[in-house]
Structure 1
């Protein structure tokens, strides 16, 4: 697929904004996937290309957490494997969904995730005691979230953190730290499948990686200086505006 220079510039800017906001409030996928879809990238290629740039962010965060011994490989290895397997299954399944159906489903899922993204901070899901055993959690919840990430993706890190808090009784900061390598496992699993399926637009993905790096760097300098609630509203607004433009192009007579 040939991509015009102005489209690459747009994707770079979108990725930079996503990287900036993701560093401060999360939800970057609510910007990058609509940006790819609005740019005319086919649905499966949009998901695959988004995985390419997502792997970079989650991989970097995971590496730093392991290096600083905030999380431990021996403890997380079986959990990462469970999430990895679930993501492979989800990514394989999405290859067989009709592209016309997928073109409708992706925006619909993004709208649902956008609504969750706004309401999530107000949900009281903390549990002082685990509601599910570690074994059952690993065999059911992690593969299910992995499958979702393989099929769509946005919000996966948040889902993993919320699941750790509500089902395993973890403190939010611990659940968030653990979610990073789990999310990397789902991202890399999905990326591998998309590469074999030939659904990666490499020029777009590499351009967005550069944008993500710049945005994350800028975001790190504004950490704790911006109200996350305002950023969440901005992220959802940008997402809905791009989806509105996509739907207008698709259904306008």
Structure 2
């Protein structure tokens, strides 16, 4: 492996780890890089999960030290998400990926509109709702999120944040901490499915993880200082990028090739 490839994997890892820890959507960068380096899409999808596990392990540790992580609520939400992720990873090969990506793009647009026109829901949460037990609707929601995350993972952080804020009443900083815990819980199970199907490139994944750890550490330190409004605008930009890619308005993968 050349020095240039190693540097690209680490630098992209820093970027992805930072973005994913603060909001989500950074996976589109790592998947694009892996495919740019010649990995098939399924192998890129599986390989990416190595770094995701390690980056979230670092982020969760820092969020706990800062006492902004509700571990109990996070674990309860992680259980249905994990069950769903196993189902999603198992049936992923039988799903029409193009149709799934279109649906994802539509949902991204809905979330983008919510972030722009209803920011108070993201910035302040709902104290009364947050103090109530987790509803059956939220458990079902996170089960469905798990199916999506097990299958594709790209942008799953947005759905987890939406479920935690709108369904459980958490403010965005606390929801973001829980998001990292939920991802840490479910991704190892979906990774096992890819390992079983021999769709993991360990060398690329582990080197990429070095950068992810750095990015996750920095982002988890900054999250509480920068606050909900900063995270919200990070989400707006990344959702917009995801939508442009999903609907082929801008082909960011081609831009990577042009930069080669």
State TM-score, norm by structure 2: 0.72
Pairwise mapping of residues 29-40 of structure 1 onto structure 2 (< 5 A)? 29-40=27-38
Pairwise mapping of residues 155-194 of structure 1 onto structure 2 (< 5 A)? 155-194=155-194
CA distance in 1, matches of 2:68, 2:149: 24
Q: Is 229-238 or 30-39 further displaced after alignment?
A: 229-238
Q: Which residue of 2 aligns with 1:136?
A: 136
Q: Would the aligned equivalents of 1:117 and 1:155 in 2 still touch at CA under 8 Å? A: no
CA distance in 1, matches of 2:59, 2:218: 16
Pairwise mapping of residues 1-253 of structure 1 onto structure 2 (< 5 A)? 6-23=4-21, 26-66=24-64, 69-97=67-95, 102=97, 104=98, 119=113, 121-124=115-118, 126=121, 128=126, 130=129, 134-216=134-216, 224=226, 229=233, 233=237, 236=241, 240-245=250-255
1:231 Cα deviation after fit: 8.8
Structure 2 runs not aligned, ≥5 long: none
CA distance in 2, matches of 1:31, 1:109: 20
CA distance in 1, matches of 2:30, 2:216: 14
Q: Deviations over 1:209-228 (max 9, x none)?
A: 1122344456557974xx76
Q: Would the aligned equivalents of 1:16 and 1:215 in 2 still touch at CA under 8 Å? A: yes
CA distance in 2, matches of 1:147, 1:123: 28
CA distance in 2, matches of 1:58, 1:230: 18
CA distance in 2, matches of 1:62, 1:245: 33
Q: Is 161-170 or 140-149 further displaced after alignment?
A: 161-170
Q: How many pairs were matched up?
A: 241
CA distance in 1, matches of 2:84, 2:112: 26
Q: 1:24 to 1:84 in 2, by over 3 A?
A: closer
Q: Would the aligned equivalents of 1:110 and 1:154 in 2 still touch at CA under 8 Å? A: no
Q: Would the aligned equivalents of 1:94 and 1:151 in 2 still touch at CA under 8 Å? A: yes
Q: Would the aligned equivalents of 1:19 and 1:215 in 2 still touch at CA under 8 Å? A: yes
RMSD over equivalenced CA pairs, Å: 3.9
Q: Would the aligned equivalents of 2:138 and 2:167 in 1 still touch at CA under 8 Å? A: no
1:152 Cα deviation after fit: 0.9
1:135 Cα deviation after fit: 4.1
Give the secondary-structure state (helix, strand or coil) at the position aligned to 2:81: helix
